[in-house]
Amino acid sequence: MTQEAYKKLFNSFYTSLCLFSNKYTNNLEHSKDIVQEVFIKIWKDQIQFSDNDNIKAYLYTAVRNKSIDFIKSKKNKSKTSLDSESIEIITSQTYFEKQVLIEETSRLVNQAINTLPYKCKRIIHLSLKGLENKQISEELSISLNTVKTQKRIAYQKLRPLLKGACSLLITLLY
């Protein structure tokens, strides 16, 4: 894997994998360390992948396994109050698949939002944080009509980008 390809892979998945790991560890700093360890292993071992699905499967599985190792470690046992039933739930395949689905959906939506023009992107981010149109217009010192227009433009651009993601989600859910 070239350095450029590795950097692109890292930038595409790092945040999602950290959030994914955090669902297991409930410790963002340890989650960041876990994800970095996985990427270091890929780089050092020069692991090659035949396609994007293999990359995703490897990354999520490796991060899951390292996260589970972390929560089971003796060092962590004294810091966590997880009982054996909770550990069984978070180590299940169903939990894993659900968390991968959530993180992949989030990653796809964020990638699509990042393709938007700057003004649209800011407005959509504020909207996703729960702000209403009036609050967004006040926050950005723009008119309410500008907010509505920019949101309409954003949705028109996002709809075709996310259509494939919706199909993927429906396929994965059934």
Q: What angle do CA 133, 160, 105 make, to 5 degrees?
A: 75
3-state secondary structure of 100: helix
Neighbouring C-beta atoms of residue 30, cutoff 10 Å:
20
Q: What is the pLDDT of residues 130-145, one digit of tens each?
A: 889 999 999 999 999 9
Q: What angle do CA 99, 10, 130 make, to 5 degrees?
A: 50
Residue pointed to by tokens 């909207």: 127
The stretches in the chain having pLDDT less than 70 are: 52, 74-85, 164-174
3-state secondary structure of 91: coil
Q: What are the helix and strand counts (H, E) for the chain?
A: 9, 0
**pLDDT at residue 174, rounded to an integer:** 47
3-state secondary structure of 80: coil
Query: Measured on CA atoms in the order 53, 161, 114, 18, is the torsion positive or negative?
Result: negative
Separation of alpha carbons 32 and 29, rounded Å: 5
Residue pointed to by tokens 């980008």: 161
Would you put residue 83 in left (φ > 0), alpha (ψ -120 to 50) or beta? beta
Residue 39 identity? F
